[in-house]
Amino acid sequence: MQLWKGRFSKELDSITNDFNSSIPFDMRMFEEDITGSVAHANMLGTCEIISWEESVKLQDGLREILEDIKSGALEIDRTAEDIHTFVEGELTKRLGDTGKRLHTARSRNDQVALDIRLYLKNRSKELKTLLKKLVFTLCTIADENADAVMPGYTHMQRAQPITFGHHIMAYVQMLLRDISRLDDCVKRMDFSPLGSCALAGTTYKLDRERVAYLLDMSGVTENSLDGVSDRDFCIEIASCLSIIMVHLSRFSEEVILWCSWEFRFIELDDAFSTGSSIMPQKKNPDIAELVRGKSGRVFGSLMTLLTVMKGLPLAYNKDMQEDKEAVFDALDTVFACLTAFIPMVETMKINRKSMRDAAARGFINATDCADYLVYKGMPFRDAYKITGEIIAYCIESKKTLETMEINDYKGFSELFDNDIFDAVSLDVCIKNRTVYGGPAPENVKKSAGKALDLIGE
């Protein structure tokens, strides 16, 4: 059944019908489509556009269809043009002419714009739950490893001492911003376009605000043209999803490095690794690699949406049917990645000894040595130069800042005293970095607690 057949005398070519059909992907919005139709039917009856008796029949009939689809008693017809056509056709089968009244004062243009807003709003809530679960997992790991010394890196070179807990909390901050972005995105999509009809509204005296209220939405769209042609919210959520994948991909890259023999900072659980078909010694971080790879797929969905929308005149154009496949695939990919990623990090083993051994090499306490001289009264640039000379000496003599003798230090400056050994101690270096946001263990624990408060844990 095509809802638009009245104008046409010929049957639609089967190739055209298949190409035009959107039901293979928009059928997932059946609940949102029916929920929106129930609210619309309620409003039609309240506004006396149809009788209240017919309104009740429509609402009851729609709810029965929803329950039948959920229970499996009713299978969605994949030959239907779209989910809207299927639901209305099924309703008409059951209610006769009363079912045909449902589409009064409505177009598929504003109907689909409502459906996708409701669908993305609902899925965003589920996505937030997963992100919060990952935040909780990482905060637990950070709290337990607040004093686990490791090297911090710049340019992938050992730079300064931090802790594993501090490093993990950096990803928590990224995820908290992801949650915040999702919240902002939902705020902007949470307006009902129903009543915009095809593009110019309607002469029926609708109560659009009632529909929004029944659907628990924040309000209604202000302009009927914009109501049916806006897909900013699809682009925005695809952008949110892309940034989430940037964060997961960066984290995955570090997991891949950390579990290599060159680092050995962590070991992934056997349940979240695979082996090689030819090299029996291999333990591959496949989940992390797949997450890293799938980021490109999500970025591609964002580019699809931007490209589809960039040249469209107002109002609705069939190009916009491409919005759903792109945003649905991006959502599905992020859900799949988070679902696999969370237990992977939850079960990984932390190798404190390997991290500390790496921190002990590479002179990552050199800045603390320079700061020591600054505290003794030396200008920083002079302290920086002398510390550089000390590092060159250590490399040549195969020593470290911790294994140098006091006389060695004094050969570079008389300001050095025995307290230099406390100053360059890795534990002291980290403990003294109590500046807000720094890696001191007490800071890490407070930061983890604050993050858990923010997500309501």
Place of tokens 């965003």: 124
Which element (helix H / strand E) includes 325? helix 322-347
Residue % of the chain over a pLDDT of 90: 89
| Tens digits of residue pLDDT in 307-316 | 999 999 999 9
Looking at residue 370, its pLDDT comes to 95
Task: Give the best-scoring range by mean pLDDT among 14-23, 186-195, 400-409, 419-428.
Answer: 186-195
Band the pLDDT of 12: cuts 50, 70, 90.
low
Does 92 have pLDDT greater than 50?
Answer: yes
User: Within 10 Å of residue 427's Cβ, how many Cβ atoms?
Assistant: 14
Instruction: Let me know: does 117 contact 189? Beta carbons within 8 Å.
Output: yes
Q: In whole angstroms, what is the distance from residue 131 CA to residue 339 CA?
A: 10
Distance, C-alpha 388 to centroid of its chain: 43
pLDDT at site 242: 98
304 contact partners, CB below 8 Å, separation of at least 6:
322, 326
Q: For residue 11, what pLDDT is reported?
A: 56
Residue 367 has, within 13 A of its CA and on its CB side, a CA count of 13
Provide the 3-class DSSP secondary structure of residue 149: strand
Task: Decide if pLDDT at 276 tops 70.
Answer: no
Alpha-carbon distance of 135 to 348, in angstroms, equals: 16
8 DSSP assignment: -
Amino acid (one-letter) located at 36:
G
- Cα–Cα distance between 249 and 297 in angstroms, integer? 12
Per-residue confidence (pLDDT) for residue 273, from 0 to 100: 79
Pairing type for strands 349-350 and 191-192 reads unpaired
28-76 pLDDT, tens digit per residue, is 999 999 999 999 999 999 999 999 999 999 999 999 999 999 999 999 9
pLDDT of 10 over the 90 cut = no
Read off the pLDDT band of 8 (50, 70, 90). Answer: very low
Q: Residue 344 carries which side chain, given as an amino acid letter?
A: M
| Domains annotated on the chain, with CATH | 5-104 (1.10.275.10), 109-197+216-357 (1.20.200.10), 366-424 (1.10.40.30)
Q: Residue 298 in contact with residue 330, Cβ under 8 Å?
A: yes
Which tokens in the block code for residue 365? 């306490």
pLDDT at 7 over 60: no
Q: Which residues are catalytic?
A: 155, 276
Mean residue pLDDT of the chain comes to 94
Contacts of 298 (CB under 8 A, 6+ apart): 238, 241, 242, 245, 330, 333, 334
Reported as a single tens digit per residue, the pLDDT across 212-254 is 999 999 999 999 999 999 999 999 999 999 999 999 999 999 9
How far lies 358's CA from each of 172, 240, 355, 362, 426, in Å? 24, 36, 5, 8, 11
Instruction: Dump pLDDT digits (tens) for 103-144.
Output: 999 999 999 999 999 999 999 999 999 999 999 999 999 999
Q: Residue 341: pLDDT above 60?
A: yes
d(CA 217, CA 210): 10
pLDDT of 262 reads: 94
